[in-house]
Chain A
Amino acid sequence: MALDPQTLRQFLDTIQRFVREQLEPAEAMVAETDTVPPAIVDEMRRLGLFGMTIPEAQGGLGLGMSEEVQVLFELCQTSPAFRSVHGTNNGIGSQGIVIDGTAEQQRRYLPRLASGEIIASFALTEPGAGSDAASLRTSARRTAEGWVLNGTKRFITNAPEASLFTVMARTDPETRGAGGISAFLVEAPNPGLKLGRIDRKMGQRGAHTADVIFEDCRVPADALLGGKEGQGFKTAMKVLDRGRIHIAAVAVGVAERLIRDMLRYAKERVQFGQAIGEFQLVQAMLADSRAEAYAARCMVLDAARRRDAGENVSTEAACCKYFATEMVGRVADRAVQVHGGSGYIADFGVERFYRDVRLFRLYEGTSQIQQIVIARNMLRQAG
């Protein structure tokens, strides 16, 4: 849905305030306790943040991609762990249902995902299948009552919190690659679904991942997403296509925050009798960061608008994810540098962002996978 500029502005103002007044002050505590406080999660629910991308008819806000990314630019000017709370409900956890779910599946799950009543996860990666997701081995066997799933999924975001999993599993053991994969909507708790212990990560404390283990996990026949076999990998790729622009927008938001912190420090910190921001070598770090973040912002907005206009943006989405996540890595590195020794000390928070943003180059397709997608599309289009 296209919002009029005034409504969008009001949206963005509200989110900016929420970030500044509620989230920023809680950043250090979230990292320390590895938990986003329930009061903040409740406020996110009340604000409607869980349902941004879910259609209005299903209780969401039905934002278009270009609106979604503008919201993310604001919402992500803080610890990325906060986004993770509702990130799967807006992204990989819900979009499979939005894009390919049956009417009944949409009716059953989307309103509860939009309100934040339940959390959804997306389970594609396995111990033996990461970048080569099509080689996944989790199996789904048809029985008289439905399906039985067996296998292990790895690094699944929000698994400890989720009561709904979109699980990619092989329904046709004869077909090796993508064609044998189907997607299932698995509700938790289920006696056949177990979680590994919560992963100890480099950063983004407050956001949780874990293994999800299926041992003769029985699900009804209508758990098959879209009611069709063999479509699971295609669904997963469609979900990740949108996800790439989403993650790129997240990277832009965090970069803008880091630039703000860097700039403040450069103006305050005095050495050799002047603010360090007066030194041209420090200015270069500020300017490079600003120029790159601006470039990424423009790329993300352009790709989002094109997607809203119905264009195939597979190449552009990969360009955005690749450039923006590498960009925020460089910006975070410079932010540490501008802060000097303080940049390495936890109290200043910069080192936390430095660790947090490292993830963006890895998940939802590593930088190398984005490069491959971009080049492959280029070669194919060149005929």
Chain B
Amino acid sequence: MKVLVAVKRVIDYNVKIRVKPDKTGVETANVKMSMNPFDEIGVEEAVRLKEAGAASEIIAVSMGPQSCQETIRTALAMGADRGIHVLSDAELQPLAVAKLLKAIAAKEQPQLVILGKQAIDDDSNQTGQMLAALLGWAQGTFASKLKLEAEKALVTREIDGGLETVELKLPAVMTTDLRLNEPRYASLPNIMKAKKKPIEQVTPEALGVDVAPRLVTLKVEEPAKRQGGRKVASVQELVDKLKNEARVI
């Protein structure tokens, strides 16, 4: 079966984010970029499916400017078979991405689409859900475990206060949570081999998708500076303050 994995290019998780002086967004010039960590988990899961003989082909899809090809290359080096790059310099919001993925899914007919539960840049946590709705497919979000059976997938989800296992009829959409797996580093030989794997480039127009933003960002601000901590003399005092001042216990 074919597996489609969405991979987003985001600011590297180690970079200290800075807001632009005009508050329209965050600085991205000369900032190290890498694959969204949840998407790495998605690629890893797909590669494991392939290694176990459950998946036949893995297609990595990324959307955005030309540099997204580097993110696709990372997926190819980890073990994806080929890439699709939707070239666009526009701001791509979750709905636009979901529509583009729907168009690609219609063409490729995968049995499973894997996305990260969210991207660490805008934390939207919407694309997977929107895609499932647009396709009319079953969805298993926040997956911490995946088990494939004939025609169906068992997805264990991390929910408040425990785990829930849902049974999805294939084809289906799954979004990954942190504990699904620990993604591998692409090995150096595989990075070299990945260069020979194909990446197809398409445009939103060619896919017939209108990607015009539906949401307007009014303002982006730094989080409030953390207040200095306080030292307490005893456990007694700590408990007292937690109870009566902070009112958390």
Contacts and interface: CB of A to CB of B under 8 A. Distances in A.
B187 A48 contact: yes
B192 A14 contact: no
A interface, size bucket: 10 to 19
Interface in A167-214: none
B73 interface: yes
Given A6-B73, A10-B70, A17 B185 contact: yes
A265 interface: no
A43 B186 CA distance: 11
Nearest to A3: B192
A10 B74 contact: yes
Contacts of A46: 184, 187
Interface string B46-85: 0000000000000000000000001001100100000000
A18 B191 contact: no
Contact of B73 (A10, A20, A48, A52): A10
A145 interface: no
Interface string A1-33: 001101101110110011010000000000000
A288 to B, nearest CB: 26
B77 to A, nearest CB: 7
Interface in A76-120: none
Contact of B189 (A6, A18, A43, A61): A61
B151 to A, nearest CB: 35
Interface of A is mostly: helix
Nearest to B73: A10
Contacts of A7: 73, 191-192, 195
A10 B77 contact: yes
A11 B188 contact: yes
Contact of B191 (A10, A17, A43, A49): A10
Contacts of B184: 46
B14 interface: yes
B181 interface: no
Contacts of B185: 14, 17-18, 43, 47
B206 to A, nearest CB: 25
Contacts of B186: 10, 14
Interface of A: 3-4, 6-7, 9-11, 13-14, 17-18, 20, 43, 46-49, 52, 61
5 contacts: A3-B192, A6-B70, A10-B74, A14-B185, A46-B187
Given A7-B195, A46-B184, A48-B189, 16 more contacts: A3-B192, A6-B73, A7-B73, A7-B192, A9-B70, A10-B70, A10-B74, A10-B77, A10-B191, A13-B34, A43-B185, A47-B185, A47-B187, A48-B187, A61-B188, A61-B192
- Those 7 A-B pairs whose CB atoms lie nearest each other, nearest first: A48-B188, A48-B189, A47-B187, A10-B191, A48-B187, A14-B185, A46-B187
